[in-house]
Amino acid sequence: METDSIALLLMAEDVDMLFEGDQLALSIISDDGIVEHGATFTDQGDGSGILTWQTGFIDAGVYYTTFQVQDSPGEVDWWTVRFIINNFNRTVHLEHPLPDTTLKEDSETIAVCQLNDYFSDPDGDSLTFRCVGPISNWHGKGNLVVSASDGKSNVYDFLQVMVTPVNDPPSAFDLVQPADSVYRYSYPHFQFSWQESADTVEDSVITYNLVLAFNEVEHWYRDIADTISYVDRLDFVVDPDQQTEVLWWV
């Protein structure tokens, strides 16, 4: 595993040594990159050699290293050792505390910060982020919990959020009567009615404003609590002997 220390003792024997006094030389003929990663090999001069390697956090992998032994007459032999260095996962790191922020309730998605500027992975692994916080249509002060994971470790931080309230509009509704382009006669009162609207989010009390427009003037009847309003017919008489065309909306 990465960060482990490796010490490998190699021993060779020449069957002719007792008779001819051959000297053996040990060496690496193909290191597969381990020397670049810090491994060293020392020929002890007695038919043995020692490989030492202090592995680091960038050394994970499989390496095939070939050693050679050669006697004085030049006869050689070799063997290959496979080194398997497993990855040592380093935990995700929080570089800086996440910044507090202020938002409007139900505001569109905005960029508060780039999370990759605040979280990092020492191994260079890709990070996934998860955020848990207040529900929609909520306002006040609360904490947003942000986590970063490399798939093996997690780190968390809290982001304080101040959400300022925004009034949610009531539900849409339609006008009922009088219908469009209909001649009506009613005296002494004229009835206007519409469908009920509701505040499904904040459950506020709904009131209505009835507007009658005639003779290029708007007449407002405010804060009506019901869905029916009776207006005195004389309120919008332009000429008692003529019809009065009235536009109305709520």
- The domain locations on the chain are 5-85, 93-164, 175-249
Q: Using one digit for the tens of pLDDT, what is the confidence trace for 170-225? A: 889 999 988 887 777 777 788 899 999 988 777 788 999 999 998 888 999 999 99
Q: For residue 137, what pLDDT is reported?
A: 66
pLDDT band at residue 16 using 50, 70 and 90 as cut-offs: low
Q: Which whole number is the average pLDDT over 227-233?
A: 87
Higher confidence at residue 104 or residue 56?
56
What's the rounded Cα separation, in Å, for the pair 4 and 161?
A: 44
Q: For residue 135, what pLDDT is reported?
A: 65
Higher confidence at residue 160 or residue 50?
50
Task: Work out the mean pLDDT of the chain and round it to a whole number.
Answer: 86
Q: For residue 108, what pLDDT is reported?
A: 66
Domains 5-85 and 93-164 alike in fold: yes
Q: For residue 110, what pLDDT is reported?
A: 63
Q: Classify domain 175-249 by CATH architecture.
A: Sandwich (2.60)
Q: What is the CATH number of domain 5-85?
A: 2.60.40
Range in 6-10, 13-17, 88-92 with the lowest mean pLDDT:
13-17
Q: Using one digit for the tens of pLDDT, what is the confidence trace for 121-166? A: 988 889 999 887 666 667 788 888 899 999 888 898 988 888 887 7
Residue 21 has pLDDT above 70, yes or no: no
Domain 93-164 of CATH type 1.20.210.10: no
Q: For residue 109, what pLDDT is reported?
A: 66
